[in-house]
Structure 1
Amino acid sequence: MQHKVKVTVLDKKLYPELQAQYCAVPESGACPCYNVGDEYIFERYGSADDFWHMGLNTLTHCTGNESLTAGGSKMPHCSEAWDAISRYIYTGLQGGSIMRGWMKDERVMITCCSDGTRPVIFKIERLDYFAVWFEGDLADTECERIRSLLGKVEGVTDVVFRKETNGEFAEVYVEPSVATEEILDAIKGQKSFRIVRVD
């Protein structure tokens, strides 16, 4: 099983009375680096390793100006935010429990950056998936057939197909209880494609 981490900006707070009292620029305003609704995906599979680049190019959905948003193509995550979220991202990428016993789902954490006058609140989620590799290129009809078969497995939440230089694979997103055998059983015996391996 492989793991990604999704980070979502849930909210931005502003405490103008604290900025007026303590900040060198008393009207600094809300954090300019993030927008409510921004989403990021961190990956660590194959040649991808987003963690070691402080999340540069992890922005997948932006509700503001992408070129001015942290984690986009122009700048990595803000250091104050990165200090707060990186430990959870790293844990999730390794398949660990992000916050067992505190959150309803141990794969989720709600946290915020350490800027006390304008904190940004983040939701961090571990996404579990199997990388199912196929021989050769799959036709669109084969992809739809695979997606349909896997969609019948309880605990499969999504199927996304990706092409790499060394082949094509499906990211099969699952609940933690789904075993490799359940994925293989769902698509075995098909003559139009052959599974090479499951990571």
Structure 2
Amino acid sequence: MKKVRITVLRKGFYPDLIRAHLSEPPEECVCDFFQEGDTFLYTGGAEMPAGFCPWAWADIYHSVNALALGASYTPWQRREGVNVVCCTDGLRPVTFLLEAAP
């Protein structure tokens, strides 16, 4: 099983949607689990990396595990062993780069 590096590429934030759908002010709704550039290492099993958001882990685990087992996302991704995924929070999504170790 390959190790997979998980890098936070971008934190999305939609204040207009937050104002329309949540009871909290938008400035209090920014994802506080991650910062852009944060990295985590998946080493196998179903164990979530320390410090990772449990909700985001539930969303991306299938892609992380697939890469660890040798799945390919080409031709959709430019590089072999890579996938870009995000959590399913529609108001403040976080996008991750997944890279399987060679």
Q: CA deviation at 1:110?
A: 1.1
Q: Say which of 67, 70, 75 aligns to 1:95.
A: 70
Q: 1:78-122 deviations in whole A, cap 9, x for unaligned?
A: 31x11321111111111222x122011131111111111111110
Matched ranges for 1:40-79 at <5 A: 40-44=40-44, 51-55=45-49, 57=50, 70-71=51-52, 77-79=53-55
Matched ranges for 1:11-160 at <5 A: 11-27=10-26, 28-44=28-44, 51-55=45-49, 57=50, 70-71=51-52, 77-79=53-55, 81-97=56-72, 99-128=73-102
The total of aligned residue pairs comes to 101
The amino acid across from 1:117 in the alignment is L
**1:109–1:123 contact (8 Å) kept in structure 2:** yes
Q: Which structure has the highest strand share of the two?
A: 1
Using the alignment, how far apart are the partners of 2:83 and 2:69 within structure 1? 15
Compare CA radii of gyration and give the structure with the larger one.
1
Q: Which structure has more RCO (C-alpha within 8 Å, separation ≥ 6)?
A: 2
Percent of aligned pairs sharing the same letter: 31
Partner of 2:4: 5
Using the alignment, how far apart are the partners of 1:16 and 1:92 within structure 2? 34
Using the alignment, how far apart are the partners of 1:4 and 1:53 within structure 2? 12
| 4+ runs deviating over 3 angstroms | none
Q: TM-score, normalised by structure 2?
A: 0.87
The runs of 5 or more residues in structure 2 that have no matched partner are none
